Amino acid sequence: MISSVLPTYSRAPLSFVKGEGSWLTEADGRRFLDLGAGIAVNALGHAHPALVETLTRQAQSLWHVSNLYQIPQQQALADALVDKTFADTVFFTNSGTEAAELAIKMARKYWYDKGTPRTTILTFEGSFHGRSTGAIAAAGSEKMTKGFGPLMPGFQSLPWGDAAALDAALDDSVAAVMVEPVQGEGGIRPMPEADLKALRAACDKTGALLIFDEVQCGMGRTGRLFAHEWAGIAPDIMMVAKGIGGGFPLGAVLATENAASGMVAGTHGSTYGGNPLGCAVGLKVTEIVSDPAFLDEVNRKAGFLRQKLEGLIAAHPDSFESVRGLGLMLGIKCRKPNTDLVAAARAAGVLVVPAADNVLRLLPALNIPDEDLAEAVSRLDAAANALESA
């Protein structure tokens, strides 16, 4: 039978019918440990009681009114994000891709209003900012852009980790630099703290706006509310999505008043962005994951998982090479093809996510119990054994 769904995904032969915590149940009754969390979306796991209660309560009163009117839930979430971050203002979207589009528009409008012809935005090899035409042009990889030209102009992609290339490109003609503090799709590659600090200083010197894409690495994923906090610096504009909704589609762009100065009435909009349902859930997620005690637990769990993974790698040098990442955003660099290891892990009842550079992404729920982490590593061990003996 031919599916009526556009075949843009290479889907695994699984159909899940129930989720609870870090476990998913397939239609045939099999249970799987989920170390992907919907690709870093289910920050608090599946069917978290506080999120279910919040969503149910809001759904019983008001779903949607549009941004023609005041939305108290939106204002409350914006206030919470401003209170906990560098930002002065917030715009809500439904996804990270939409957040990327606004970040690009905001940076270019900033320079347009200054009367200065700055349009170039510097990005980095291996980046991923979404699937819209603007976002794929920003990332620039052939895998995403082939066949979709002509691409939006004004982006220059630089080699990852090449300070000399950045110094040569970042002059007073550049509008902004857009970077993921930790690349996700690119293979769990953190930008070193010293490089982030140097990038902030270089942008300050030239006037370029600094845009952080924290769609995947934000909302507590690295053990801080946002990954850039480890470097002790702040961006001018930041893209957020995935974990902020805990599974409900929600994204946001956070910005300083200065960076957002060009975005006046009529310059941008969204029909669904910032709706009462999404913002009610997002506020509850933000309250939970921004708690210092919760973030301390993320870091403790990250150390526990990393120790287990180091043991796994030592036991399987033919399959695995090393572990990297921050917090509960970890990647295992593989020696065997990562797609084979993903399939073997699935057969062993644990779900992981592939990434570039032959990496397995481990993005568990931030509140995953230690016993589930230990069980997940045990299942990865079984997967490696099965693959090595095949």
Tens-digit pLDDT profile for residues 12-38: 999 999 999 999 999 999 999 999 999
Does one domain contain both 89 and 206? yes
Tens-digit pLDDT profile for residues 300-309: 999 999 999 9
CA–CA separation, 269 and 267 (whole Å): 7
Does one domain contain both 24 and 162? no
Q: Shortest CA distance to 136 belongs to which of 116, 151, 121, 154?
A: 151
Residue 358 lies in a domain: yes
Compute CA 15 distance to the chain's CA centroid, rounded to the nearest angstrom.
24
Could you give the dihedral angle defined by the CA atoms of residues 321, 326, 330 and 331, in that order, rounded to the nearest 10 degrees?
A: -40
Residue 174 lies in a domain: yes
Instruction: Calculate mean pLDDT across residues 204-228.
Output: 98
Instruction: Calculate mean pLDDT across residues 148-157.
Output: 95
Give residue 3's pLDDT.
82
Does one domain contain both 336 and 237? no
Residue 303 lies in a domain: yes
Residue 379 lies in a domain: yes
Residue 170 lies in a domain: yes
Does one domain contain both 275 and 359? no
Does one domain contain both 264 and 132? yes
Does one domain contain both 200 and 223? yes
Which are the contacts of 15, defined by CB distance < 8 A and separation ≥ 6? 26, 27
Q: What is the mean pLDDT of the chain?
A: 96
Does one domain contain both 185 and 96? yes
Radius of gyration of the chain from its Cα atoms, rounded to whole angstroms: 21
Burial class (CB in 10 A: 0-12, 13-18, 19+), 292: exposed
282 within 8 A of 250, measured Cβ to Cβ: yes
Q: Which of 262, 289, 316 is the last residue of a domain?
A: 289
**Where do the DSSP E strands lie in 256-326?**
320-326
Does one domain contain both 325 and 196? no
Instruction: Calculate mean pLDDT across residues 376-380.
Output: 98
Does one domain contain both 245 and 191? yes
Residue 7 lies in a domain: no
Which 8-state DSSP code applies to residue 349? T
357 within 8 A of 341, measured Cβ to Cβ: no
Q: Look up the pTM and report it.
A: 0.97
Residue 133 lies in a domain: yes
Residue with the two structure tokens 């599916």 = 3
Task: Assess whether pLDDT exceeds 60 at residue 288.
Answer: yes
Q: Which of 274, 289, 304 is the last residue of a domain?
A: 289
Instruction: Calculate mean pLDDT across residues 196-223.
Output: 97
Task: Assess whether pLDDT exceeds 70 at residue 341.
Answer: yes
Other beta carbons within 10 angstroms of residue 99's beta carbon come to 29
CA–CA separation, 70 and 60 (whole Å): 19
Band (pLDDT 50/70/90 cuts) for residue 1 is low
Q: Tell me, what CATH number does 328's domain have?
A: 3.90.1150.10
Could you give the dihedral angle defined by the CA atoms of residues 99, 253, 297 and 311, in that order, rounded to the nearest 10 degrees?
A: 30
Residue 9 lies in a domain: no
266 within 8 A of 87, measured Cβ to Cβ: no
Give residue 118's pLDDT.
94
Compute CA 82 distance to the chain's CA centroid, rounded to the nearest angstrom.
19
Measured in degrees and rounded to the nearest 5, phi and psi for residue 28 equal -90, 5
Tens-digit pLDDT profile for residues 91-141: 999 999 999 999 999 999 999 999 998 999 999 999 999 999 999 999 999
Which 8-state DSSP code applies to residue 193? H
Compute CA 134 distance to the chain's CA centroid, rounded to the nearest angstrom.
18
215 within 8 A of 226, measured Cβ to Cβ: no
**Residue span of the structural domain in which 256 resides:** 50-289
Q: What percent of the chain has pLDDT over 90?
A: 96
Dig out the tokens for 387 from the structure: 């693959």
Q: Which of 289, 310, 336 is the last residue of a domain?
A: 289
